[in-house]
Structure 1
Amino acid sequence: MKITLVAGARPNFMKISPIIRAINNEVSNGTSIEYRLVHTGQHYDKNMSAAFFEQLGIPEPHVNLEAGGGSQAEQTAAIMVKFEQELLKNRPDLILVVGDVTSTMACTITAKKLCVDAVHVEAGIRSGDITMPEEVNRIVTDAITDHYFTTSEHANTHLRNSGVEEKRIHFVGNTMIDSLCQHIDKLVEPEIWSQHQLSSGKYLLLTLHRPANVDDSANLEKLVSTIIRHSHDYKIVFPVHPRTRKVLESLSINSDRLICSEPLPYLEFIYLVKNAGGIITDSGGITEEATVLGIPCMTMRNSTERPETVILGTNELIGTDPQNIVPHLDNLIAGKWKKGGVPPLWDGKAAERIVGKLVSIYNRN
Structure 2
Amino acid sequence: MTVHRRENHGQRLEHILDAIETLSSAFPSHQFILPIHPNPNVKLKVCQRLSKQSNIILTESLDYPQLVLLLSKAKLILTDSGGIQEEAPTFNVPILVLRYKTERMEGVEKGFAKLVGADTDKIIQESSLILQNAIKTSGANPYGDGKASQRIEKIIRKVFNG
The TM-score with structure 1 as length reference comes to: 0.38
Moved over 3 A (4+): 214-221, 229-232, 249-253, 351-357
User: 1:214 touches 1:220 (CA, 8 Å); kept in 2?
Assistant: no
Question: Which residue is equivalent to 2:43?
Answer: 245
Task: Please show how residues 264-343 of structure 1 align to structure 2 within 5 Å.
Answer: 264-335=62-133, 337=135, 339-343=137-141
- 1:274 is aligned with what amino acid? S
Contact kept, 8 Å, 1:312 with 1:340, in 2: the verdict is no
SS in 2 for 1:241: coil
**Residues 107 and 142 in structure 2, CA contact (< 8 A), matched pair in contact too:** no
Spell out, residue by residue over 1:147-201, the C-alpha distance to the aligned partner (whole angstroms, 9 max, x if none): xxxxxxxxxxxxxxxxxxxxxxxxxxxxxxxxxxxxxxxxxxxxxxxxxxxxxxx
Aligned-partner SS, 1:208 = coil
Distance 1:334 1:290 in 2: 20
Q: CA deviation at 1:300?
A: 0.7
> Match of 2:115, as an amino acid?
L
Alignment correspondent of 1:235: 31
In structure 1, C-alpha distance between the alignment counterparts of 2:80 and 2:124, rounded to whole Å: 16
Shift of 1:333: 2.0
**2-structure distance, mates of 1:239, 1:211:** 16
1:213 aligns with 2:11: no
Measured on the aligned residues, the alpha-carbon RMSD in Å equals: 2.8
Q: Distance in 1 between matches of 2:121 and 2:114?
A: 15
Rg (Cα) greater in structure:
1
Taking the aligned partners of 2:143 and 2:23, their CA distance within structure 1 comes to 34
Is the 1:303–1:317 Cα contact (8 Å) retained in structure 2?
yes
In structure 2, the residue corresponding to 1:248 is in which secondary structure?
helix
Whole-angstrom distance in 1 between the partners of 2:143 and 2:15? 38
Q: Which amino acid aligns with 2:10?
A: D
Q: Contact 1:279–1:297 (CA<8 Å) still a contact in 2?
A: yes
Give ranges in structure 1 of 5+ residues lacking alignment.
Answer: 1-205
- Distance (whole Å) between structure 1 residues aligned to residue 9 and residue 38 of structure 2: 11
1:59-108 Cα offsets, whole Å, 9 max, x none, are xxxxxxxxxxxxxxxxxxxxxxxxxxxxxxxxxxxxxxxxxxxxxxxxxx
More helix by proportion, 1 or 2?
Answer: 2
Question: What's the secondary structure of 1:207's corresponding residue?
Answer: coil
Q: CA deviation at 1:256?
A: 0.8
- Count, aligned residues: 156
Residue 352 of structure 1, CA deviation:
5.0
Q: CA deviation at 1:253?
A: 5.5
Output aligned runs, 1:144-223, within 5 Å.
206-216=1-11, 218-223=14-19
Give the drift of 1:284: 1.3
Instruction: Provide the identity percentage.
Output: 29
**More strand per residue: 1 or 2?**
1
- Residue of structure 2 in register with 1:257 after alignment: 55
Distance 1:343 1:270, change over 3 A: closer
8 Å contact kept, 2:93–2:137 = no
Comparing both chains, which one has the higher relative contact order based on Cα–Cα distances under 8 Å and sequence gaps of 6 or more?
2
Distance in 1, matches of 2:143 and 2:122, equals 32
Shift of 1:344: 5.5
Cα distance change, pair 317–272 in 1 and its aligned pair in 2 (3 A): same
